[in-house]
Structure 1
C-alpha cells in the first residue's frame, strides 16, 4: 500500500509521524510534571499543617484534644486517633468518622489526600480534598490533547506544503525528461532552482548533462552524415565501375583488370570502415592502467619497419623508461596512426619515435600540415590541403585526439625548421 503512495505523501506521513510522537511525548511529560509538582505542593502543605498540629495536642489523662488556638486554613481537616481507630479529636472541614487501619505515611483516597503520623501512642491524620487537583489535571489533559491534535493537523498541512515545495524541481526534471522522450527535443532545459541547496545543484547538474547530451547527439548526427557522405563516394565509384564492366562482354584479361581495380576500391572501403569503427569504439570507456611507453613504441615500430624501408626511410627510436596511464590497445592505435601520417606526409630519410616519462612523440622531416588547419584536422574526415592524391580517410588524427582527451593527455603539434613533431603528453600520474 505504502509503495503506491507518492513521494510527497510519504514525506508528509514521515514528518507527521515524527512530529506526533514528539508532541505526545512532550504533552505527556508536561502532564506528569504538572501532576508531580501539584501533588508535591499539596504534600508540603499537609506536612506543615501536621507539624503545627503536633504542637497543639493537649493530653489530659486518658483523653487528648487540640488546643483552641488550632484553626486549620481552608479545607484542611485534622484528626487525632487512638491505635484502635477511635477518634479523639478533630478540627477543620470534615465529618466525624472512625478508621479501621492506621498506617503512617501519605495516601490518596477517592476524595482526599491524607498524611498519617504516629505520635506516641496516638495517630495524627491531616487531609485535604483532592477534587481540585483532579479537576485541574483533567482540564490540563483535555487542553494538551486538543492542542496536540491541532498541532498535528497543522503539521500535516505544513509537511505537505514543504514536501511539495521541495519536490518541485524534481517534477520539473521529470517533465523535461518526458518531453525529451516524447518529442526528441534536446533543447529543453529544467528551470533552475534558486539558491545552493541540493535541489539547486540537481537542476544545474541535469541541465549540464542535457547540454553535454545535446552536444554529443549533434556530433553523432554530424558524424553519421559525414560518414554516409564519405561512404557514398567510393560506393558510387565502385558501382560505376561494376556497371561499366557489365555493359558488354569482355575477355578474361579485361575482367581480371576490372576486378583488380574494384578490389582496390573495396580495400579502401574496408580501411574506411575500420577507421569508423575505431573512432566509434574510442568513446567506449575502457579501464586505464599503467602502460610502458617504450615497450609500445618498440612493438608498433617493428610493424612499420618494412613499410618505411619500401619508402627509403628508417625508423629511429630514442627511448627512456616512461609510463603513462592509458589502455594498451588504444595507445598502439594512436602510435600506429601517427607513424602512418609520418610515412605518408613526411620527407627525409628517417622518422624518429621518442619516449620520455609520460611523453610519446613522433618526428618527421618536412613542413608538416598548415598550422592554421591543425584544429580542423582533428575533426573526422578532415584532411589538409594538397593531399588529395594521398590515400586516406581523414580519421587518423581524429581518433588520436579523441583517445588523448579520454586519457586526459595533451596532443601538442610542434613546427621547427628541420621538421614536424606530434607529442602526446600525459598529465595523470601512472
Structure 2
C-alpha cells in the first residue's frame, strides 16, 4: 500500500482486531468458567442433599431424589455397583458407572434397611448387638464427607433427550459403615446458551467494530494529513515554477505537521537566499572577469595588427589579475562546497614571519611583532591560513598612510593575529558589509588598485571553517584593525 492513510487504517484495524479477539476469548473463557462453576455448585448441593439422606440411614428405596431433568442422580457403592438412580434417567456418562439399572434391592444399614434370611432384621443370626465389642468400629450414625467433591463433565439422557451436565461426586457413610458415592449432575444448558449468545454477538459485533475503526482511522488520518497534502502540492508548484519566493501553508496547530511546514519555509528561505547569492556571485564574477579579459583581448588584437604597439607588460599584468581572480573564485567554490580544512600542526608566529618576508614591492613597509618564546600553535590548512595572512596586509596596504603592523599573541586559550593600519578606517555601519563578496567601499578606486572585493570574504570564510572568527575594529593609530582568532592547539603534555 502506497497510501499512508491506508496503511494507518489497516494497522489500526489489525491492532484492534487482535485486541478484540484476545479480549473476546478471555471473556468467553471467564464466562464459561464461571457458569461451569455455578453448575458444579448446584450439582454439589444436590449431591450433598442425597448424601445427607444416606448418612441418616434412609433406605435407598425411600430416597428423595430430585427430578432427573434438573439434577440426575446416581448412587454407587465402593465396588462401583449401582445402588440408586433417578427416575426416567435412561443413560449417563461421566460418572462412576454408565449403568442405570438394575438397582441393588438390599443395603445393610443400622436401621434395618437390609434383612437376613430368617427375617429377624439382624444380619448376624439374631446375636445381641448391644455388646460393646460387637459394636466396636461401627458408627452410630452415618456422615457426609467434607472433602471437596470431584467434578466431571458428562451427559445424561432423560426421556430421550441428551444434554451436557456437570457432575459432582460426594461420598457418604451410612450408620452401618458402608461408603456410598452420590453422583449428582446439573445441566450445562445455561452455560452453553450464554456462551453461544456471547460468541454470536462477538462474531457479529467484531466485523462491525473493525469497520468502524477502519473508517474512523481513515477519516482522522485524512484530516490529519490534509495539511501535508497542501505542503506537497505547494512544493510541487514551487518545483514546477522555480519560484523560490513562494511558501507552503502553515497550519494553525502546534503539532508536528505545523513544525514541518515552518521548517520547510525556513529551508525555502535559506535556499532562496543561497540561490540569490549564487546569482549575484555569478553576475559579479562575470563582471569582474570581463574587464581583464577585454583588456587582454584588446592588447592582443592591437599587437597582432601592429606588433610595434604591443604592450607586453600590460598584457602580463592583466593575465596576472585574471589568474588571481580565477584562483579566488576557485577557492570560494571549494569553500562553498564544504571543503574541510586540514589538520596540520602550524605555528602562526612562524607563518606570519614567512608570509611577510615574502612580500615585495609594498608601498608601505610591514612591521611584525611576534613573541619569540610564546607558543602560537594551531591546527588547520597551511595554504588557507597563509591566504588570510596575505589578504589582510594587502587590504591594509590599499588604505594605510604610513604604517602597517602585523602582530600575533595568545589570548584566552586562543591565538590572535592582528593587522592594523593608520588609514581612514572602516565606518562602524560598514564593518560587516566589507566581508561580503565583491564589495568595495571606495567605488571610485579602480579595480587594479582596489581588487575584486574577494580578499576579506575569503579570509572570513577560511576563519569560520577553522572554528575561528575574523572581525574589524578601530586601531590605536586611527585606521582599521583586523583580528583573526583561532582556537589554540591543545598541549599534549597536559
TM range (shorter): 0.7 to 0.9
Q: Does residue 299 of structure 1 match 2:351?
A: yes
CA change 1:238–1:84 in 2 (3 A) is closer
Give the SS at the match of 1:56: helix
**Deviation of the 1:232 alpha carbon:** 1.5
Q: Does residue 280 of structure 1 match 2:333?
A: yes
CA change 1:172–1:417 in 2 (3 A) is same
**C-alpha separation in 2, matches of 1:349 and 1:242:** 39
Q: Does residue 424 of structure 1 match 2:476?
A: no
The TM-score with structure 2 as length reference comes to 0.74
2:258 corresponding residue in structure 1: 200
**C-alpha separation in 2, matches of 1:185 and 1:340:** 41
**Pairwise mapping of residues 24-423 of structure 1 onto structure 2 (< 5 A)?**
24-57=21-54, 59=57, 64-66=60-62, 75-82=70-77, 83-90=79-86, 95=89, 102=96, 105-110=150-155, 111=163, 112-119=165-172, 120-247=178-305, 249-251=306-308, 254-255=309-310, 258-287=311-340, 295-307=347-359, 311=363, 313-319=365-371, 320-322=374-376, 327-356=381-410, 357-371=413-427, 372-385=429-442, 387-388=445-446, 390-407=449-466, 409-418=468-477, 419-423=479-483
Tell which has more relative contact order, 1 or 2 (C-alpha 8 A, sep 6+): 2
2:131 corresponding residue in structure 1: none
**Deviation of the 1:361 alpha carbon:** 2.9
The one-character-per-residue Cα deviations of 1:302-355 (angstroms, maximum 9, x if unpaired) are 133142575462431324434667655433322221122233433435522223
The structure with more radius of gyration: 2
The range that moved more, 146-155 or 311-320, is 311-320
- Paired residues, number: 416
The range that moved more, 276-285 or 210-219, is 276-285
**C-alpha separation in 2, matches of 1:421 and 1:175:** 52
CA change 1:235–1:286 in 2 (3 A) is closer
CA change 1:264–1:90 in 2 (3 A) is same
1:290–1:323 contact (8 Å) kept in structure 2 = no
Give the SS at the match of 1:187: coil
CA change 1:76–1:344 in 2 (3 A) is same
**C-alpha separation in 1, matches of 2:57 and 2:268:** 101
**Deviation of the 1:71 alpha carbon:** 5.9
**C-alpha separation in 2, matches of 1:173 and 1:268:** 48
Q: Show structure 1 runs of 5+ residues with no match.
A: none
The range that moved more, 197-206 or 348-357, is 348-357
Give the SS at the match of 2:185: strand
2:113 corresponding residue in structure 1: none
**C-alpha separation in 1, matches of 2:11 and 2:489:** 48
**C-alpha separation in 2, matches of 1:316 and 1:121:** 123
Q: Show structure 2 runs of 5+ residues with no match.
A: 98-148, 156-162, 173-177
**Deviation of the 1:421 alpha carbon:** 1.2
1:316–1:352 contact (8 Å) kept in structure 2 = yes
**C-alpha separation in 2, matches of 1:98 and 1:26:** 36
The range that moved more, 77-86 or 8-17, is 77-86
1:353–1:361 contact (8 Å) kept in structure 2 = yes
**C-alpha separation in 1, matches of 2:151 and 2:463:** 90
Give the SS at the match of 1:116: strand
RMSD between superposed Cα atoms in Å: 3.2
1:8–1:164 contact (8 Å) kept in structure 2 = yes
**C-alpha separation in 2, matches of 1:354 and 1:101:** 107
**Deviation of the 1:96 alpha carbon:** 5.6
**C-alpha separation in 2, matches of 1:312 and 1:387:** 18
2:252–2:258 contact (8 Å) kept in structure 1 = yes
**Deviation of the 1:220 alpha carbon:** 0.7
The range that moved more, 115-124 or 129-138, is 115-124
